[in-house]
Amino acid sequence: MSSTNKKTTAVGCSCFGGGGGAAKSDPPTTQSNKSSIGGGTLVKSKTKNDGVHRKSAALHDSAPPPDSMSDTDAAHNVKVETGDMDLVFFDAVEDQLADDEYPIITTSYVAKPRKVSFMDPQTMLRSDDWQEPAFEDARAEPGEGAGVDSNGKLIAATAESPPHTPRDRSTSTDMSPRSFRKSMQNRAGSLRVFRRPSMAARKDLEKPRITVQERGYPGQLNEEELSQCQQFYREIHERQGHYLEIVYSLQGVEEEPYAICRYMRATKFDSDAILERLQNGKPMWEEAKSNEFYKNVDEALGAPLVLFLQYYPYFYQGNARNGCPVNYFTAGTLETQALLSMVDVESTPKYFWNTFYYTFKEKMIVAKERNPDFVRCESINVMDLKGMSSAQLTSEALDCMKAVGKIADFFPETLHCMVILNAPTWFAFSWKLIKTFMDPRTARKITVYSNEAKGQARLLELVDKSEIPSNFGGSGPSLEKSIRENTRKPGEDHIDHYSTFVSLRNKTDSKKIDKLYVLKADQTANVTVFTRSIIGANFTVSCGGKVVAKSVPVKRANPAQFTPENMNKAFQTTIVNGVKGPGQVSVEVKGLGDFDPSRKLAPSLNYVVAIEVIGEKPIDAST
């Protein structure tokens, strides 16, 4: 090489990385420093990308690959015509450099990071060297979810960190969760989606920005799957309306190719089947949309959300090790009768509309703030069945669960995995039967543990202990505290709600709540009763031993108008307002006993006694 050409070139060619073919050089890039490089090549150590982990890369020296031409005599005489300069490949250790020669810094050949993009259709296809993730066949037991092996360890992907790409401002998430919620509420149901050319859509499906090393995701499709995705894409843009609104309902946190594939995975890449599902779901979607997906969830439920969650404790808290948001459900404390004393069966799903449409997106923002390469709009569900009995699975509870399942159909494939803890014997046996009716892909995401220690170990594999609620064995805040802290409205940290469920044994029974709440000197309280009772009861409220409301009747009006349809409607009655502290608030309940059995309607004897506490100072959520 001429001494006048004092530049070294980073070269990635087949003669250094193994295999045949002509060598190819990149443009000159680096100024030489005349130091000896040694006999090795400079390579990157990389971690696989599973769509959820931040990728890291570090440079280190490596011995030449076994099939490198540097190990052969031919390496001394290999020349590559570059057009403007000749590159001579040689062994930098065995061959001494002349004064006018400079070493060529090379890297072992590594394929460019796979990106999915609508601009290049081939990127959506599965590469020839792609192998099935180990977790698919590693165990027969379901529940390990995507991206984990038989030991619960995350399976890394092979893609390198992608180069920086210009941010799509239409899907920007540069805002706080609270700002995002406000933005979403202001445009609930509105959508701005522009159809791009079919080839552009195909390219994004084949080469996504981040490639998830799992079948069914952008960049891992076969030709038939890609064809179905393209057909689905064309159809929803031609039909528009609710089709676009549903598919792009996570717009702002989910990139387009991932949204398309997520819906297609739900029907095993049958575009006709998913289009039919979307068509059948139109009435339900339109109703929720007309109510702005129940953004004011307290108003939609007819009761404070914090009280609703006291009896249906299902709530997001923290993120898993892979970045997925985690929600917890203490099913063993589910109080169906208490819940239905406050809200109607028809109202319960409104909370889940709000959760899917608003809360889930907020949690995805947090995940993306932690890792900008997080592309899987999926969450981990943890369900604790400790203390649960089969008696809790009433027909009303099952109806509620079915309604929630219908809502989940609008947001398919958002379950990363589910861990069921402390399963009682009766559930473990039932599960073996239930999973035979489930889609195998879904069943693989669910793991049931009867052994508490094994279940806890599995949870710790998925989630760091600091992110797990204390009542689930972690060191984070309890689920109850998180609910209280995160359901308060802005500026209302001085207001809190508590309640107690009362169930009378018969129409003349009576019960006493000795300590509903202990008021401080700077606090006042309002006491309200929620019920479906057509019998009614008298309520007496005391504070500090002094009666502040005596024998206030709580009974549904106009009993002659009761029908099987309206008798189960929950209603509420305020017993007393402005109870001043300090003092311990107690409540006595006594049934009125004037039910007419000739009406042949099953009477409710259940009541939820709620107290709203208002203080001059912020109230600790753990109080």
Angle among Cα 479, 525, 589 to the nearest 5 degrees reads: 85
For 19-28, 381-390, 449-458, which range has the lowest pLDDT when averaged over its residues?
A: 19-28
User: Does pLDDT of 574 surpass 80?
Assistant: yes
Q: Alpha helices of 187-335 — where are they, by DSSP H?
A: 198-206, 223-239, 242-247, 256-265, 271-280, 282-290, 297-301, 305-311
**Options 3.40.50.880, 1.20.1740.10, 3.40.525.10, 3.30.429.10; which CATH number does 295-487 get?**
3.40.525.10
Selected residue with higher pLDDT from 494 and 435: 494
What digits encode the pLDDT tens for the residues 141-165? 333 333 334 343 333 333 333 333 3
Q: How far apart are CA 258 and CA 377, in angstroms?
A: 8
Task: Give 3-36 pLDDT, tens digit per residue.
Answer: 444 333 333 333 333 344 443 334 444 343 433 3
Q: How many CB atoms lie within 10 A of CB 566?
A: 9
Question: Mean of the pLDDT values across residues 295-308?
Answer: 93
Select the more confidently predicted residue: 264 or 74: 264
Assess whether the previous peptide bond of 582 is cis (omega < 30° from 0).
Answer: yes
Predicted local confidence at residue 131, as pLDDT: 40
Rounded Cα distance between 386 and 384, Å, is 6
Q: What angle do CA 472, 473, 476 make, to 5 degrees?
A: 85
CA distance 226 to 523: 62
**CA within 13 Å, CB half, 171:** 22
Q: Is 543 or 75 the better-scoring residue by pLDDT?
A: 543
First to last CA, the chain: 78
Q: Do domains 295-487 and 495-615 have the same CATH topology?
A: no
- Where do the domains of the chain lie? 7-89, 121-139+175-280, 295-487, 495-615
495-615 sits in which CATH class?
A: mainly beta
Q: What is the spatial distance between Cα 335 and Cα 605, in angstroms, rounded to a whole number?
A: 14
Higher pLDDT, 607 or 128: 607
List phi, psi (to 5°) of 246: -75, -50
DSSP 486: H
Question: How high is the mean pLDDT of the chain?
Answer: 74
Range in 176-190, 387-401, 448-462, 564-578 the model is least confident about: 176-190
Residue 543 tokens read as 């504070």
Question: In terms of pLDDT, which residue wins out, 508 or 118?
Answer: 508
Residues 6+ apart with CB under 8 A from 319: 325, 326, 363, 366, 367, 370, 463, 467
> What is the pLDDT, as a whole number, of residue 600?
45
At residue 285, the 3 state secondary structure works out as helix
Residue 201 has pLDDT above 80, yes or no: no
Residue pair 328/315 in contact by the 8 Å Cβ criterion? yes
Residue 140: predicted pLDDT? 31
Q: Which DSSP symbol is given to 302? A: T
- 262 in Cβ contact with 221 (< 8 Å): no
Kindly state the average pLDDT of the residues 263-283. 96
92 pLDDT more than 60: no
Closest CA to 84 of 21, 196, 7: 7
Lowest mean pLDDT among 44-58, 416-430, 493-507, 556-570: 44-58
- Note the pTM of the prediction, 2 decimals: 0.69
Q: Which two tokens stand for residue 178?
A: 């609270």
The residue that leads in pLDDT, 471 or 129, is 471
Residue 130 pLDDT exceeds 80: no
**Percent of the chain having pLDDT more than 90?**
45
Highest mean pLDDT among 30-44, 339-353, 368-382, 510-524: 510-524
pLDDT confidence of residue 379: 95
Longest dimension (CA), the chain: 112
Instruction: Evaluate if residue 540 carries a pLDDT over 80.
Output: yes
Q: Is the pLDDT of residue 311 over 80?
A: yes
| 514 torsion bin: left (phi>0), alpha (psi -120 to 50), beta (else) | alpha
Q: How many whole angstroms separate alpha carbon 206 and alpha carbon 115?
A: 8
Whole-number Å distance between alpha carbons of 266 and 343 = 32
